[in-house]
Every structure is written in C-alpha cells, then in structure tokens.
A and B are shown apart, each in its own frame.
Chain A
Amino acid sequence: MALRGGSKTYTMEIEETIQNRVQARDAAMRLLNRLTTGAAVSALVGVGILGAVSAHTIPGTAGSSTASTATTSSSSSTTITSSGLQSSTTPVTSSASSAVAVSGGS
C-alpha cells in the first residue's frame, strides 16, 4: 500500500514537472511571438521616424525627376543635387568648340 501510494506521488510529481515545463514553453512561445511582433512594428515605425529625421537633416530636392539640373547666369551657377541645393560663385563657361562664353542665360 505504501509502495502504491509512493508510486502515485512520484507519478503526480512527474506529471506536475511535465505540466510546468509545458507551461514554461508556452509562455516562452508567447513571449517570442510578442517580441517578433514588437520588433516588426518597431521596425516599420522606425522606417517612418528615421525617414522623417533624414528628411529633416538632408531634405534634398522636391519634385525633381532628373538626375541633376543646372541653371546658369552671368555671375553664378546653381546645381541641384540629391543632397540639396549647392551654390557656386565661380563663373560658368561653355565647353562648346567655338569657345563662346555663355552669359545672360535664364
């Protein structure tokens, strides 16, 4: 009787241990799912936030669809690049074979 009672207790302890392990595993799986979902949402939000921060720091051009656009005037040149508006005060000369300087352009 004592043996049967001891065996029953032993079996119950094993079942309890297995149940605890299963519960711990389920809890860890739930944590994994929460962490993965959190990481995905954070990454998506991160793209938005970091995109906005990058737009704030280096806004670049708006509405231009060409690689670069250059406008010239008689005394200065302006070049629009992907990293923003850059100005130069050096005069612009034409590279045409007739060596005619371009001036007064719009």
Chain B
Amino acid sequence: MTDTLLWYTTRGAGAVSLVLLSAVVVLGILSVLRVQSTAWPRFLTAGLHRNLALMTLVFLALHIVTAVVDPFTHLGWLAAVVPFSSYYRTFWLGLGTIAFELLLAIVVTSLVRSVIGQVAWRLVHWLSYASWPVAVLHGFGTGTDAWSAWLFALQAVCIVAVLAAIGYRLMAGSRDPLAAARSSFQAGVDRREVK
C-alpha cells in the first residue's frame, strides 16, 4: 500500500510541478514585458514569479523524494543527483535531473543576485528557457501517465501557455523605458565623435 501511495504521489507531484514551472516561466516573461495595470502593479508579477519558483522547488523535491524512496523502483539517490546514472529509462530520467539542477541553479543565483551581480544572474536566468522544455520532455518520456488523456491535456495547456507568452514577448519587442533616452544619448555621442 505504501509504495503505491508513494508512486501516486510522485506522479501527482510531477504534474503539479510542471504546471507551477510553466506558470513561473509565463510570469517571468510577463515581468520582462513590464505588464501592469492599476489593480495589478508590476511588483506583483515579479513577487508571484519568485514565490511560485520557490514553491516549484518544494513540489519538485516532493516528486523526487517520493520517487527515490519508493521501494518498487529502487532508483537510488545517485539518479536524483547525477544525470543519466539511472538504470531505469536512463535518458528520460536524466533529462528530469538536468531540469531540476538547472532550476536549482536559477533559484540559488536569484537568491544571491546582489552578490554575483546583474550580468551573471541574467546569464544563468536564461537557463530557464532550457529548463522548461527539458522538464516537458522528461514528462513525456518518463511519465507513466504521459499519454493519459488528463496529463496530455495538462501538458498541452502548459505548452500553449508558455508558447503564447514567448510569442507575445517576441512580438512586443523591448519594453525598456529608457530605450528612447539611451538611443538619443548614443546618437548625440556619435554626432560628437564625427565632429
């Protein structure tokens, strides 16, 4: 009874983690686009993005711990830490390990952002664009329920939401409020250098 309960929890926590991770990616894109209104100030998007990212780690930890301690699978802790070291679905499980470690790197660097600086933080944060698709592939390849109608629908909703946010970002272009000032300053500098 206990091992099946662990197995169901692993599957439930995995699905919830994917939903949370997708929400984090969408909120991250919206915060870059500086989306806001009178009822929804910009810091709310950034705050929710940060809180959901930390929550995703908690549910991912639940997903990993229940999978590792499940006596049925005998995955072992090494598989949770070292990618492609599992005997069971080596490649697909390895993708899950990579996605988790990328997310861990993103969250840790965000927490020590003031120490490592903006440039290093931004470079690491771009990994989120790799972490999410790797996690989705892990779900399709490893998930027991991957092709069950309910999880397939859930994954489809997550994929559509993230792709829509990325498309919106690409179409919206830069929302840098200082872009005009920067370009006019650069133009002034260029004119001065020509003289």
Contact = CB atoms under 8 A, between A and B. Distances in A.
Interface string B1-21: 101100111011101100110
B43 A28 contact: yes
A71 B15 CA distance: 34
B186 interface: no
B74 A25 contact: no
Given A28-B44, A65-B71, A82-B72, A43 B148 contact: no
A55 B19 contact: no
Interface string B143-159: 01100101100000000
Main secondary structure of the interface of B (DSSP, over half): helix
Interface in B22-79: 23, 38, 40-41, 43-44, 47-48, 51-52, 55, 59, 62, 71-74
Q: Which of A43, A52, A61 has the most CB of B within 10 A?
A: A43
A94 B52 CA distance: 54
A58 B145 contact: yes
B143 to A, nearest CB: 9
Interface of B: 1, 3-4, 7-9, 11-13, 15-16, 19-20, 23, 38, 40-41, 43-44, 47-48, 51-52, 55, 59, 62, 71-74, 144-145, 148, 150-151
Contacts of A36: 48, 51-52, 55
B72 A47 contact: no
Given A43-B16, A47-B13, A54 B8 contact: yes
A55 B148 CA distance: 12
Nearest to A55: B8
Given A50-B15, A65-B3, A43 B145 contact: no
List the 8 closest A-B pairs by CB distance, nearest first: A51-B12, A51-B8, A50-B12, A47-B12, A54-B11, A36-B51, A46-B16, A55-B8
A32 interface: yes
A58 B12 contact: no
B16 A28 contact: no
A78 B23 CA distance: 43
Contacts of B55: 36, 39-40, 43
Contact of B73 (A24, A32, A47, A67): A67
Contact of A67 (B20, B47, B74, B151): B74
B72 A54 contact: no
A64 B3 contact: yes
Given A67-B73, A82-B7, 15 more contacts: A32-B47, A36-B48, A39-B51, A46-B16, A47-B62, A51-B9, A51-B13, A54-B145, A57-B145, A58-B144, A61-B4, A62-B1, A62-B4, A65-B72, A82-B144
A48 B15 CA distance: 11
